[in-house]
Structure 1
Amino acid sequence: MTQKLQTRSGGRSARRAARTSPLAQHLRPIRSGMEGGLYRPLTQEGMERIHQAALDALEQIGLIDAPASGVAYLTGAGAILGDDGRIRFPRALVEDAIAKANRSITLFGREPIHDLLLEGNRVHYGTAGAAVHLVEVDGQNYRECGVQDLHDAARIVDELDNIHFLQRPMVCRDIPDNFEMDMNSIYACCSGTTKHVGVSFTDPSYVKPAIEMLHMIAGGEDKWRERPFVSNSNCFVVPPMKFATESCMVMEECIKYGMPVLLLSAGMAGATAPSTVAGAITQAVAECLAGLVYVQAVKPGHPAIFGTWPFGLDLRTGAMTGGSGEQALLTAGCAQMHKFYALPGGAAAGIADSKLPDMQAGWEQMCSNVMAGLSGLNMVYEAAGMHASLLGFCFESLILGDDLIGQALRCVRGIEVTDETLALDQMREVCMGGPGHYLGTDQTLGRMQADHVYPTYGDRTSPKEWVERGKPDLIAKATARKLEILGKRAPARLDPVTDAAIRAKYRIHLPY
């Protein structure tokens, strides 16, 4: 008996030691690219009707304001330019574009460990947006954000396990020249993280010099084209049903240089899109289908993400409601339509209308993030850090969002039912002559990390222990983590030779 107890104790000691070490990626309870798709707010009939309505809209209404190059591409592919200047899309043309589009896209990181495979119901969470303010929790202030803030956001994202990509979340308000702003945005992001980066361009002529910078970072054009680690977030439409002329020209340039594109349609339900959830989804689907035809006409097979991003609106005030239940439904419904077409897609979730990382922000961010993940959305944009309906970005909220998304991903993972997880043998052992509880059993200890996600910052102590620990504050914990990350050199920083070459060619506003 003594020998048996020693053996069990030794096994537990080994397991405790193993639990202090990081889990291998394939053993983690949550990770990038987990499969969602179990939540389906739309019926099959509902999806069919949205699809048919979108085809009707494209065939009967069409889109206006395409650039001359876009008109040539689209009419050459079979679209029809009307006397009213609108380009209409025959059903067969749209269905052919859907059939030929990629079913699987890989968005590369600068390091392969951060590659994102977009297909089926695989879920990835990340940032996005164009916030003009940084939210400072100390003093509860909003101030204009700059290039240093964008770089710091990238550095923080690089350290967070559950934030899988960085799409530029802030605008560099301290750089008035648009060309310099675009070049510095790319530099700030790429020198802060090796995860996949999404950026925008304000002018088509800026794409070529930006690509030249990316060639320098990648180590040559061939290496860039092999693994393009930056994508273009492209608002190619101005809802309702109008092409954004210059953005379309940007898109054409990005396609030329091998940069993946996010076809982003961001109508406001009740303002620039129908006020109903179904109507807003229908318009977004129609606009993105037009974008898909456009991309296929420029370069068949080019990687394009189906970016239906309809937003909610508070019809009492006209204010955006990114944290509403309607927003969560819009995003989940869009994800379903991506699956209807079997296309890699993305939409927005995790936006807080609250101005600070408080209880309101918590419920707003969790509601849409969970529903987006459960619906199997490939790319969940704006999932962390966004406040004031996209006007403000907060570092502490970004860090706390990593915890929140961890719990959302645990919901995405769902419930596995196997002989082991049913635990009948364990019940038998515990209940029939055993201790009468499951604390400390081999099975409990062996699966505690594989089955459970533990918050890094969330507090699960008793009130007594909380007091004994000095009543730790959630925001203060996040601030301490922020300072820890920003207090060391960025692991993703560029090598000195490349950095010097970039600084010699471009006016980089970040200090060395």
Structure 2
Amino acid sequence: MTALRTRRSAERTHAKGGAPIPQLPARRVENPYPPMALLSPDQVEAIHLASLHILENLGMEVMNRRALALFERAGADVDHSAMTVRLDRGLVAEALKTAPAAYTLSSRNPARQMAIGGNVINFTLVAGPPNVHDRERGRRAGNMRDYRELVSLAQHFNCIHMLGNQVCAPIELAANTRHLDTYLANLTLTDKPFHVSAIGRGRALDGINMMAIARGLSLEEVAADPGVGTIISVNSPRRFDEMMLEGLMAMAEYGQSVCITPFTLMGAMSPVTLAGALAQQNAEALCGIVLTQLVRPGCPVMYGAFTSNVDMRSGAPAFGTPENTKANIASGQMARRYNLPYRTTPGSASNAADAQGTYETLMALWGAVLGHGNLVYHAAGWQEGGLTASFEKFIIDVEMVQHIMEFLRPIVVDDGELALDALAGVPTGGHFFGEPHTLERYATAFYQPLLSNWQNYEAWTEAGAMDATQRATGVWKKALADYVQPPMDEGVREELEAYVARRRQEIGADEP
């Protein structure tokens, strides 16, 4: 049945005709250049020491009795009535010794395996917006049709390596069970790794179980070969809520990837100064990282950063600012201080897939790349400060990510590339169009964009004078037409569907 679905999808694509959308082949992306250092070694150490002061003297609110007990057994100073934890630097240092510097995330397709750490950089689909937008259907609440289309786009484009946690919330489905539907879509419409929801233990375990079913593995086997991740968002300043902690502990218990990400907006949830925000972010991240290692030493864990600023006139979040870009770079220095993989994010506060949305995202994206981010979360589709997943913005972002991927290819210098024979064969004042050296390479010499238009003004006008956002509509529509669902064994599909049906009944209508 699955093979038939895939064949029919391929036949529909062939029948539509037309050249495929130009895109880069699937590959592991590495950043071969040294990371940029905005902070001196002394400044990195000063931020580290300030964060230790926060952990030892100010403490963290940990709103979960099981987590408090774990910290207490490890020697932390725990105030159970106030639900606060103070960690001394020795406890932090011991926990960091077991956190891996790099690890691998596997999916049901071995070719989609993701390396996390070192010089490898991975890009994910946007995650979490309650709304969706495209130029033809307008802005609307998230729904399952849009969810499936956006996930299909992520599968179609090779530069997207992973799905985030719910590209949009399908609000027509029951809130307490919709995660089952989105996990099923992730696993059947794509063969890439994905993030699960960590709002409570149940949602995390459902994601782990369904990933194990899709790969034909036991829970013990996936604990040694992780396949899903999650983002633990800290309620900055200095608070870990109960449900997130349950999700964190469940993921760590089963050996899955956990990323601790403080959301430190300077001037609102953190000090207005970048150094103060980085110190707070660092303390919060370290607290969560320590907990993962107390649950399961060696659990794959990532240093997450999401430091930006607010508009001091209105209090609204701002992204893609110079401060946000500097924070992306400096946070990478802090992650490397602890020899941990690093998650970062490009973002924009623009309400449209316009010039503002592009330059803000690209500004922050450069910070992520120069800071040697290993996981660039929300890399494609983020709009309206994360409140909307945009189809057109997804295409614009894919174009920018592909530009970055090509930029990261090292320059080759050898006899063929130096082209001395070609230089000798072309007379002074001549041209290289017909030179054999050019003809041998013309098809692959340069990056071929999927969105840019290089026609002259007259030809562009005659073709409809469409700007990049308008052209992006045609690109995502063609990508959906060309999408081919990855094959899945029918027995595996049936087992997943049975799991969803059983869990939907178990959860019922009352579980949050």
Which category describes the TM-score, using the shorter chain as reference length? Answer: 0.7 to 0.9
Deviation at 1:39, TM superposition (A): 2.5
Match in the other structure for 2:510? none
| Structure 2 residue matching 1:459: 3-state secondary structure | coil
Query: 2:197 touches 2:204 (CA, 8 Å); kept in 1?
Result: no
After TM superposition, the score normalised by the length of structure 1 is 0.85
Query: 1:311 touches 1:330 (CA, 8 Å); kept in 2?
Result: yes
Report the residue type matching 2:353 in the other structure: P
My pick for the range that moved more, 284-293 or 498-507, is: 498-507
CA gap of 1:186–1:487, structure 2 versus 1, over 3 A, is same
Query: 2:381 touches 2:391 (CA, 8 Å); kept in 1?
Result: yes
Query: 1:374 touches 1:412 (CA, 8 Å); kept in 2?
Result: no
Query: 2:152 touches 2:483 (CA, 8 Å); kept in 1?
Result: no
Match in the other structure for 1:429? 424
Match in the other structure for 2:475? 481
CA gap of 1:417–1:215, structure 2 versus 1, over 3 A, is closer
Q: Given the alignment, which residue of 233, 236, 239 partners 1:239?
A: 236
Deviation at 1:290, TM superposition (A): 1.0
Deviation at 1:23, TM superposition (A): 11
Query: 1:352 touches 1:388 (CA, 8 Å); kept in 2?
Result: yes
Match in the other structure for 1:202? 199
Deviation at 1:259, TM superposition (A): 2.1
Query: 2:199 touches 2:246 (CA, 8 Å); kept in 1?
Result: no
Match in the other structure for 1:7? none
| Structure 1 residue matching 2:230: 3-state secondary structure | strand
| Structure 2 residue matching 1:52: 3-state secondary structure | helix
Query: 1:356 touches 1:387 (CA, 8 Å); kept in 2?
Result: yes
Report the residue type matching 1:55 in the other structure: L
Matched, 1:504 2:498: yes
Deviation at 1:288, TM superposition (A): 0.9
Report the residue type matching 1:390 in the other structure: G
Match in the other structure for 2:143? 146
Q: Given the alignment, which residue of 277, 285, 295 partners 1:280?
A: 277
Q: Given the alignment, which residue of 348, 352, 355 partners 1:352?
A: 348
Deviation at 1:257, TM superposition (A): 2.4
CA gap of 1:333–1:427, structure 2 versus 1, over 3 A, is farther
Match in the other structure for 1:104? 102
| Structure 2 residue matching 1:382: 3-state secondary structure | strand
Matched, 1:374 2:370: yes
Match in the other structure for 2:12? none
| Structure 1 residue matching 2:54: 3-state secondary structure | helix
**Number of aligned residues:** 482
Query: 1:238 touches 1:244 (CA, 8 Å); kept in 2?
Result: yes
Query: 2:380 touches 2:397 (CA, 8 Å); kept in 1?
Result: yes
Match in the other structure for 1:410? 406
Distance in 2, matches of 1:384 and 1:211, equals 25
Query: 2:265 touches 2:307 (CA, 8 Å); kept in 1?
Result: yes
Distance in 1, matches of 2:228 and 2:128, equals 17
Match in the other structure for 1:86? 84
Report the residue type matching 1:503 in the other structure: E
| Structure 1 residue matching 2:454: 3-state secondary structure | coil
Query: 2:117 touches 2:374 (CA, 8 Å); kept in 1?
Result: yes
CA gap of 1:407–1:219, structure 2 versus 1, over 3 A, is same
Query: 1:134 touches 1:394 (CA, 8 Å); kept in 2?
Result: yes
Distance in 2, matches of 1:55 and 1:284, equals 11
Match in the other structure for 1:454? 448
Report the residue type matching 1:131 in the other structure: P
Structure 1 gaps, min length 5: 1-19
CA gap of 1:80–1:456, structure 2 versus 1, over 3 A, is same
1:119-158 Cα shifts (integer Å, max 9, x gaps)? 223222212331011012126x311011222222111011
| Structure 2 residue matching 1:48: 3-state secondary structure | helix
Deviation at 1:377, TM superposition (A): 0.8
CA gap of 1:316–1:37, structure 2 versus 1, over 3 A, is farther
Query: 1:94 touches 1:293 (CA, 8 Å); kept in 2?
Result: yes
CA gap of 1:90–1:455, structure 2 versus 1, over 3 A, is same
My pick for the range that moved more, 364-373 or 475-484, is: 475-484
1:54-108 Cα shifts (integer Å, max 9, x gaps)? 1121111121224221122122223222485421111122122223321111122
Structure 2 gaps, min length 5: 1-19, 505-512
Query: 2:252 touches 2:296 (CA, 8 Å); kept in 1?
Result: yes
Deviation at 1:485, TM superposition (A): 3.3
Report the residue type matching 2:60 in the other structure: L
